[in-house]
Every structure is written in structure tokens, then in C-alpha cells.
Amino acid sequence: MGKGNFEGILKSIWQHEKTRKLFRKLQAALNLMEFGGLMSVWVPSKAATGLTPPPKIATDWDVVNDPVEVERQIIEQSKKHFWHAHRTPFTTPPLNGIDSTAHLLAKEILQSGLPP
């Protein structure tokens, strides 16, 4: 590797780092630096009838940005999702008797309204 090639690589790395730092500063200045969590969710729009269509057939969607409403939508979807396991082999005898405390924690989270 020649000296000129090595200097070009170092210059490219240095420029990349300067650009990365610039974008981090811009994000901080614009308050776009969120650490973890969801900031919004897409939910099916209510039709003219006022009923919300199932996600698989929905054609119109709304964006929810309010943190409290985002949490509510996620909890509601989780309840619907976990309800699908109702009356499946692991929720009926004899398999539901397998000793595990994980289901107690999940039940507590869902019933308490804590985010999943």
C-alpha cells in the first residue's frame, strides 16, 4: 500500500467521522435524539361507520403520536394478540399445569395496565 493511498483512506475516515458528529449535533439541536421506545404507531382508520377494520383488511391508516395513546394502542394490540392463545393446548389441562411463573408475570402486566 502506497503512502498516498493510506493518506486518502485516513482522510476519508476523518471526513466520515466529521459528518457523523455533525448529524449527531443536528439531532440534539432538533431534539430528535430519543433513546429507545416508540414515538408513534400506525393504526387502522375508523371507517365512515365508526368501526375500526381489522389490520389485515384496513386500507386507510392514522399515525398516533401522543405517548399515552401510543401506549394504549400497544397494550390493546397485545391483549388481542395474546387472546389468540386462549383454549390452545398450553392453556388447557394437562399442559397448562406445567410449573412456570412466566405466565403470572404476563398476566400481571396485562391486567395492571403496565406497558408490555
pLDDT at 55: 82
pLDDT-derived band at 51 (thresholds 50, 70, 90) equals confident
Asked if 14 and 56 sit in the same domain, the reply is: no
Instruction: Please give the tally of structural domains in the chain.
Output: 2
Where does the pLDDT of residue 4 fall: very low under 50, low under 70, confident under 90, or very high at 90 and above?
Answer: low
Q: Per-residue pLDDT tens for 78-90?
A: 888 888 777 888 7
3-class state of residue 89 by DSSP? helix
Average pLDDT estimate for 27-36: 64
Check: CB of residue 73 under 8 Å from CB of residue 41.
yes
Are 21 and 66 within one domain?
A: no
Confidence band for 6, pLDDT divided at 50, 70 and 90: confident
Average pLDDT over residues 84-109: 74
Check whether residue 59 and residue 111 sit in a common domain: yes
* Nearest partner of 114 among 75, 81, 88, judged by Cα: 75
Q: CA 34, CA 38: separation in Å to the nearest integer? A: 9
Query: The pTM is what?
Result: 0.46
Domain housing 87? 36-116
Q: Are residues 23 and 73 in the same domain?
A: no
